[in-house]
A and B are shown apart, each in its own frame.
Chain A
Amino acid sequence: MKNNTTYDAIVIGAGHAGVEAGLSLARLNKSVLLVTLSLDSISNMACNPNIGGTAKGHLVREIDALGGQMGITADEAVLQLRMLNLSKGAAVHSLRGQEDKIMYHLNMKKIVENEPNITILQGEVVNILTADDGSVCGVTTDMGNTYNTCTIVLCCGVYLNSDIIIGEWRKAEGPSGFSRATSLTESLISHGMTIRRFKTGTPARVDKKTIDFSKMTEQMGDKDIYPFSFINDKSKPCDVSCYLTYTNENTHQIIRDNIHRSPLYNGTIKSIGPRYCPSIEDKVMRFADKDRHQIFIEPESMFTDEMYVQGMSSSLPIDVQLEMYRSIAGMENVNIMRYAYAIEYDCIDSTELDSSLMVKNIKGLFTAGQINGSSGYEEAAAQGLIAGINASLYIDKKPPFILTRDKAYIGVLIDDLVTKGTNEPYRMMTARAEFRLNLRQENADIRLTVDGYELGLVSKDRYDRYLRKTELIELYINDILNKHVQITDLTDFFNSIGESIPSRSLSYKDMLKRATISADMIMSTFKELSELDVRVLREVETMIKYEGYLTKQDASIRELKKLEDRQIPSDTDYSIIEGLRLEAKQKLAKIAPLNLGQASRISGVSPADITVLMISLFKK
């Protein structure tokens, strides 16, 4: 039966990117067709059962501040919360939640189903249709249906022509036993896109009942920490434990004896895998001097006994897998329920995208998530949200929403992908954010709520929370913390913390400048502070402690801004600019940077090229 239906936008794929893209489009009043290969894979966490972690936690907070969904659902499905890097500065504190995968999937499915502007469809898109002018006009599915639209957000994850590889065994299928998409790659190639092949992998899932936890170290969560979403003041109760164990010399020997059977080492897998997500055989072979590697046992869900064995990703044959898993303390009798596997998949070259995540040569086609060569649920969700927002703006014929590197990790992520590209699955790291000190998870709302509100994704309630917080920050910094403390009160306080007593009276701000004095300490000591909002006060403390370094960073940001403010016309013909080196001409033409700042980050474009470009572009 032929079925012609028209939508404002079609989102292909309902993973972490697709769901955010679909929800943001729908919430911006666009009619959306959300097509997925299986309704049972909506927001499937195909690898680790957690959300957040270093830099990724920051992404979740930013998604949340902009009005995205991930943070809220992650708070609902949380099993354990930890704040990483607490011993370091506030900019790198990172929230990570162990998540109930099944609950996460079901809750997210429900949210998408309840979104009136979204029509959900199980099926495989086999063709992207374009009009005579090259812009998107619709899709066809494997069952022969055609759907019309001017905007597509492609979020097909690792499903394009994916192969599961375990030892000598290879199967044409997607992750977690779901079927793969076989025709879309050809459609993309026919539209002139470059296709590359990446690889990633996942460890085995083992039966909880067959693990001896007494031989492992229990890892409990942290108490009293703020959850992902800014609209939740408190986390729901969550105290499920993880367990730590280690590989040993025996494990390593098993791997070395069988390395010739590893597809990574015998040449079966030629695609590029991520360095930050090495398989256990990679770790053992590349870091031969390490006598053990950490292994964390993490719960997948309260609805199953499957446990995730973090650190043991592998593509060795199943007999080797069983032997090496069973060589680990506490897993001597373990029963593997799903074997570890490597997966190869098609993805695009992200430098073919512009900063709004639209394919430069195909108007109306946006892409987000692993198809862009990134990895990780949070990276995918962040791109999905931005692609959805920009697809909506595209429909409304409005300028795109582009976050800069100094404003958000999301800005760093997308700028890296579209400007520098990536040669391996791209993972967000705090080291990639040169303005890291400003991009804290605790000020993501300060940085982004206004944007989300103006776009129309942030509710009035959330916006009011933001206003209250900024008012309090203002009040604390400019008023309350400027109060000076009597020297007698100071004496008691400094005695109690065992530090030498200052010779003159200090303001609260002066005290917070010291590394050894925290917001919590002064709040519990000085009565007039006891009623303050502790979360806001801690944020203010961070601002005070970082002040000198933030000033340094602001100077770099201003220099960047000066370049970013210089827009480059999209019709610039680099080939005729005199003085540009050939390599620079080619790179600039390919990336088509929006401004001089972006141009300066392209590899192969030198500072001298930028000067030449600047002069030739900004003639009066």
Chain B
Amino acid sequence: MYKTFAAIATPLGAGAISIVRLSGPNALCIASKVFTSSKLNTFSNAIPNVMYLGTIFCDGFNDKCLAVYFKGPHSFTGDDVVEFQCHGGVRLTSEVLKTLLSNGASIASRGEFTRTAFLNGKLSLSEAEGIVEMINSENIASLNAGYRMMSGHLNKSITEINKIILDITASLEASLDYPEEMEDEVRENLESSLKSIDSAVSKILSTAQLGRIINNGINVAIIGEPNIGKSSLLNAILGKDRAIVTDIAGTTRDTLEERVEYNGVFINFIDTAGIRSTIDTIEKIGVDKAFESAKSCDIVVMMMNASTPVSSIEKDILSKFDNKLIIKLYNKSDIAVLDHCVDGITISARDKTGIESLLAKISSMFISGDVDLSGDILTNFRHIDSLIRANTSIKSAIIGANNCVPSECILIDLRDCYLALGEITGATASEDIIDKIFSKFCLGK
């Protein structure tokens, strides 16, 4: 098909690596916008089937990852394909996907890779027939009560937005088709009406974060100087020895990810290597990674010693996370608690005290009270994709309105916006618009 689409190809969750796959005519072009490798001045020069180590630029952070380009038709789908092998973890992978979407890819619908592969003659019918089942199972999935409740609310808000779009569209269309009967005032308030649509779409889109948390959990990085007790904390939270704990500073060299459930919300803790300047190469990679993980997390828990003053290294680390949600966590309260600890939470990882208040603090930072499912919560990447496209179109319409672009052009953006939102609610453009024109205006001879 002519669309370029993307999806996470590996199971969502913590794993050593995740693969994000991009397929379609613009795959290479989109990939070169977000990925660079020192071996190439641009990824669009990539040699097919060669693995490149490089950096992927996501919103707010970068990650080292591997990318490989499969040139169509010699690829899984038969179209051009780029695969990114990035560090595992829900948050990271989702961000990579989101970056691809905001650079022009569409989210792959269920079975889309397979369907494309089939249409390009890469799969036999028996392999492709699985798609029919997938479509059916998706319909069954959508009958799930919780999903229905959430999408019901979402539908309602989107229907409201589309009603406004329809109103504006009908006015503009009526003035094009009935120039003699319509006064030309329809463009007077156009810009402000379009802006109200834009803010409504943006508002729903901003809940994509909360939706992701409900599905995938809150990502929390635990950072701090070596041997401060980060791994002990993880073990204390989990109630089992997941992380290796020793007295030797720098024991944790890779990041570990573990999930706990608290008040119905998943919290994904990422234990990181202690941060210090080190000459050990492997440990140094671990330290770099600690920073990266922390930057891509929802919350950073900065672990310090309750019994000693804040060190200059710690101050330095803290300053690096100015823009993040940060919790100061003072460990070793069993030894002593100094006065400065009032700006954070004090715990004892060894005695397992204060853990509850840490969990409560984390969840309260995202959800006030119990998890509220009554609002519009975007959990579905397909919905996010539709809203991103709606958002792009409405912004383009606003620019058009600002620059005296003729109505028939603005209507292209408005129609795109309406259709993108319609993918969520099932609305279609053509007849809706014409029905609206005649119910709203007195037209005709």
The residues of A with any CB-CB pair to B shorter than 8 Å are 48, 54-55, 84-85, 87-89, 91-92, 94, 274-278, 283, 286-287, 290, 293-294, 310-311, 313, 420, 429-432, 434, 436-437, 515, 546, 549, 552-553, 555, 558-559, 562, 578-579, 603, 608, 611-612, 614-615, 618-620
Partner-contacting stretch, out of B27-35, B48-56, B117-125:
B117-125
Give the chain A neighbours of B139 by CB distance below 8 A: 608
Instruction: From B1, B176, B434, give the contact of A85 (CB < 8 A).
Output: B176
Instruction: From A89, A274, A611, give the contact of B444 (CB < 8 A).
Output: A274
12 contacts between A and B (CB under 8 A): A84-B180, A88-B179, A88-B406, A92-B408, A430-B173, A430-B176, A430-B408, A431-B173, A432-B430, A434-B415, A559-B2, A578-B132
Complex CA–CA separation, A274 to B438 (angstroms): 10
Cross-chain contact A89 with B406 (CB below 8 angstroms): yes
Q: Given A85-B179, A562-B1 in contact, is the A434-B409 Cβ separation under 8 Å?
A: no
Interface centre among B121, B128, B176, B184 (most CB of A within 10 A): B176
Task: List 5 extra interface pairs beyond A278-B442, A549-B405, CB under 8 A.
Answer: A276-B438, A436-B408, A515-B405, A578-B132, A612-B135
Cross-chain contact B177 with A431 (CB below 8 angstroms): yes
Q: Given A546-B409, A559-B3, A608-B135 in contact, is the A88-B176 Cβ separation under 8 Å?
A: yes
Complex CA–CA separation, A620 to B118 (angstroms): 10
Cross-chain contact B179 with A562 (CB below 8 angstroms): no
Cross-chain contact B408 with A437 (CB below 8 angstroms): yes
A149: shortest Cβ distance to chain B, in Å? Answer: 38
Q: Does B181 contact A (CB under 8 A)?
A: yes
Give the chain B neighbours of A429 by CB distance below 8 A: 173, 177, 434
Q: Does B147 contact A (CB under 8 A)?
A: no
Q: Quick one: closest B residue to A558, CB to CB?
A: B2
Instruction: From B121, B135, B438, B443, give the contact of A620 (CB < 8 A).
Output: B121
B208: shortest Cβ distance to chain A, in Å? Answer: 23
Complex CA–CA separation, A434 to B124 (angstroms): 36
B interface, over-half SS: helix
Q: Given A275-B438, A515-B404, A559-B2 in contact, is the A611-B409 Cβ separation under 8 Å?
A: no
Give the chain B neighbours of A562 by CB distance below 8 A: 1-2
A31: shortest Cβ distance to chain B, in Å? Answer: 39
Give the chain A neighbours of B405 by CB distance below 8 A: 515, 549
Give the chain A neighbours of B443 by CB distance below 8 A: 276, 278
A379: shortest Cβ distance to chain B, in Å? Answer: 14
Q: Given A87-B184, A277-B444, A431-B433 in contact, is the A579-B177 Cβ separation under 8 Å?
A: no
B166: shortest Cβ distance to chain A, in Å? Answer: 12
Q: Quick one: closest A residue to B445, CB to CB?
A: A310
Proximity string of chain B (112-136) to chain A, C-beta cutoff 8 Å, 1 when within and 0 when not: 0001001101001100110110011
Q: Quick one: closest A residue to B131, CB to CB?
A: A615
Q: Interface size of B by Cβ–Cβ distance < 8 Å? A: 46
Chain B positions 268-289 with a Cβ under 8 Å from a chain A Cβ = none
Q: Quick one: closest B residue to A96, CB to CB?
A: B180
B274: shortest Cβ distance to chain A, in Å? Answer: 51
Give the chain A neighbours of B434 by CB distance below 8 A: 429, 431-432
Give the chain A neighbours of B173 by CB distance below 8 A: 429-431
Q: Given A89-B409, A274-B444, A290-B442 in contact, is the A54-B179 Cβ separation under 8 Å?
A: yes
Q: Does B262 contact A (CB under 8 A)?
A: no
Cross-chain contact A55 with B119 (CB below 8 angstroms): no
Interface centre among A313, A431, A553, A611 (most CB of B within 10 A): A431
Cross-chain contact A553 with B412 (CB below 8 angstroms): yes
Give the chain B neighbours of A293 by CB distance below 8 A: 442
Complex CA–CA separation, A437 to B416 (angstroms): 14
Q: Does B403 contact A (CB under 8 A)?
A: yes
Complex CA–CA separation, A297 to B124 (angstroms): 68
Q: Does B178 contact A (CB under 8 A)?
A: yes
Complex CA–CA separation, A618 to B124 (angstroms): 11
Cross-chain contact A286 with B408 (CB below 8 angstroms): no
Instruction: From B176, B438, B442, give the contact of A54 (CB < 8 A).
Output: B176
Q: How many A-B residue contacts, CB cutoff 8 Å?
A: 116
Instruction: From A278, A294, A558, give the contact of B180 (CB < 8 A).
Output: A294
Cross-chain contact A612 with B132 (CB below 8 angstroms): yes
Proximity string of chain B (90-111) to chain A, C-beta cutoff 8 Å, 1 when within and 0 when not: 0000000000000000000001
B443: shortest Cβ distance to chain A, in Å? Answer: 6
Q: Does B407 contact A (CB under 8 A)?
A: yes
Cross-chain contact A431 with B445 (CB below 8 angstroms): no
Complex CA–CA separation, A552 to B412 (angstroms): 8
Give the chain B neighbours of A620 by CB distance below 8 A: 121, 124-125
Cross-chain contact B406 with A579 (CB below 8 angstroms): no
Give the chain B neighbours of A274 by CB distance below 8 A: 444
Cross-chain contact A277 with B132 (CB below 8 angstroms): no
Q: Quick one: closest A residue to B415, CB to CB?
A: A434
Give the chain A neighbours of B128 by CB distance below 8 A: 615
Cross-chain contact A55 with B177 (CB below 8 angstroms): yes
Q: Does B437 contact A (CB under 8 A)?
A: yes
Give the chain B neighbours of A313 by CB distance below 8 A: 445
Give the chain B neighbours of A608 by CB distance below 8 A: 135, 139
Complex CA–CA separation, A552 to B173 (angstroms): 19
B307: shortest Cβ distance to chain A, in Å? Answer: 63
Complex CA–CA separation, A528 to B43 (angstroms): 45
Cross-chain contact A615 with B118 (CB below 8 angstroms): yes
Give the chain A neighbours of B445 by CB distance below 8 A: 48, 277, 310-311, 313
Give the chain B neighbours of A278 by CB distance below 8 A: 442-444
Give the chain A neighbours of B437 by CB distance below 8 A: 431
B381: shortest Cβ distance to chain A, in Å? Answer: 17
Complex CA–CA separation, A381 to B358 (angstroms): 77
Give the chain B neighbours of A558 by CB distance below 8 A: 2
Complex A-B, nearest 4 residue pairs according to Cβ-Cβ distance, in ascending order: A89-B406, A287-B442, A275-B438, A579-B132
Give the chain A neighbours of B403 by CB distance below 8 A: 515
Proximity string of chain B (418-444) to chain A, C-beta cutoff 8 Å, 1 when within and 0 when not: 000000000001110110011000111
Complex CA–CA separation, A579 to B130 (angstroms): 11
Cross-chain contact A286 with B125 (CB below 8 angstroms): no
Cross-chain contact A286 with B442 (CB below 8 angstroms): yes
A102: shortest Cβ distance to chain B, in Å? Answer: 21
Complex CA–CA separation, A294 to B443 (angstroms): 10
Complex CA–CA separation, A339 to B128 (angstroms): 66
Complex CA–CA separation, A358 to B31 (angstroms): 50
A448: shortest Cβ distance to chain B, in Å? Answer: 21
Complex CA–CA separation, A620 to B121 (angstroms): 8
B50: shortest Cβ distance to chain A, in Å? Answer: 30
Complex CA–CA separation, A317 to B108 (angstroms): 62
Give the chain B neighbours of A515 by CB distance below 8 A: 403-405
Give the chain B neighbours of A611 by CB distance below 8 A: 111, 115, 131, 135
Complex CA–CA separation, A486 to B401 (angstroms): 32
Complex CA–CA separation, A612 to B132 (angstroms): 6
B316: shortest Cβ distance to chain A, in Å? Answer: 47
Give the chain B neighbours of A88 by CB distance below 8 A: 176, 179, 406-408
Q: Quick one: closest A residue to B133, CB to CB?
A: A579
Interface centre among B119, B129, B445 (most CB of A within 10 A): B445
Cross-chain contact B415 with A437 (CB below 8 angstroms): no
B442: shortest Cβ distance to chain A, in Å? Answer: 4
Instruction: From B111, B431, B442, give the contact of A283 (CB < 8 A).
Output: B442
Interface centre among A92, A94, A286, A546 (most CB of B within 10 A): A92
Give the chain B neighbours of A287 by CB distance below 8 A: 442
Q: Quick one: closest A residue to B429, CB to CB?
A: A434
Complex CA–CA separation, A310 to B180 (angstroms): 12
Complex CA–CA separation, A55 to B181 (angstroms): 15
Instruction: From A55, A89, A612, give the contact of B408 (CB < 8 A).
Output: A89
Complex CA–CA separation, A286 to B444 (angstroms): 13
A48: shortest Cβ distance to chain B, in Å? Answer: 6
Complex CA–CA separation, A434 to B177 (angstroms): 14
A484: shortest Cβ distance to chain B, in Å? Answer: 24
Cross-chain contact B1 with A275 (CB below 8 angstroms): no
Complex CA–CA separation, A311 to B444 (angstroms): 7
Give the chain B neighbours of A276 by CB distance below 8 A: 438, 443-444
B210: shortest Cβ distance to chain A, in Å? Answer: 28
Cross-chain contact B135 with A91 (CB below 8 angstroms): no
Give the chain B neighbours of A290 by CB distance below 8 A: 442
